[in-house]
Amino acid sequence: MNVKEAIHTRRAVKHFDVAHISSDAEQAELFNLAQQTPSSFNIQHWRIVNARDPELRKALRAAAWDQAQVTDASMLLIICADVKAWEKNPERYWENAPKETQDFLVPMIGTFYEGKEQLQRDEALRSVGFIAQTLMLAAKGMGYDTSPMIGFDAAKVAELINLPPDHVIGMMLAVGKAAKPAQPKGGILPRSAVVVDNRF
């Protein structure tokens, strides 16, 4: 499937084939594709919890108001972000770059983020959005469907996955084979409502 087709055919699926199990190789391929996602300063803030334990999945379903896709999909990913990733050994983000690039960019990371708590959080959540879209399109290209979710008790989910205090949860993403087609797209705003030439 090409990228255009994946974009046009991706939908939020709510009903998954409970009998389908994604292979370890497929999961590895999905994560490999996801890790090609861009991020500011190449910080790669995302931390993805792959909820494989059936008992954990049941508890997460209860925290997500009993939404069936939490347990029925082949995979359930909790896409989190490390808000403080910018200050944790930033040299590693550019370890393969030429020394002059490292010397220029690595010090700039601290200058850009230090003391700017809102920017740090905003950047972390932007990274969640980037990788979530990559995951959804990559999954579609692999023959899978997805359901991005924000309908859950974030505090309870954080407790269940032992979320570190300097991390945030962006969303959950169910990945699997659709058992029923998704609802038709509700509607797309006219381009004139979303694209502004030059200035508002």
Q: What is the DSSP string of 22-41?
A: --HHHHHHHHHHHTT---GG
Question: How far apart, in whole angstroms, are the C-alpha atoms of residue 134 and residue 127?
Answer: 11
Q: What Å distances lie between residue 199 and 189, 190, 191, 193, CA to CA?
A: 19, 18, 15, 13
pLDDT, mean of residues 1-29: 94
Query: Model-level pTM?
Result: 0.94
**CA 122, 125, 131: angle at the middle one, nearest 5?**
140
pLDDT, mean of residues 159-181: 97
| Per-residue pLDDT at 66 exceeds 90 | yes
For 186, the enclosing helix (H) or strand (E) is none
Question: Which of the two residues, 186 and 20, has the higher pLDDT score?
Answer: 20
pLDDT, mean of residues 43-54: 98
CATH number of 3-194: 3.40.109.10
pLDDT, mean of residues 169-195: 94
For residues 43 and 71, the answer to whether their CB atoms sit within 8 Å is: no
**For residue 183, what pLDDT band results from cuts at 50, 70 and 90?**
confident
For residues 135 and 175, the answer to whether their CB atoms sit within 8 Å is: yes
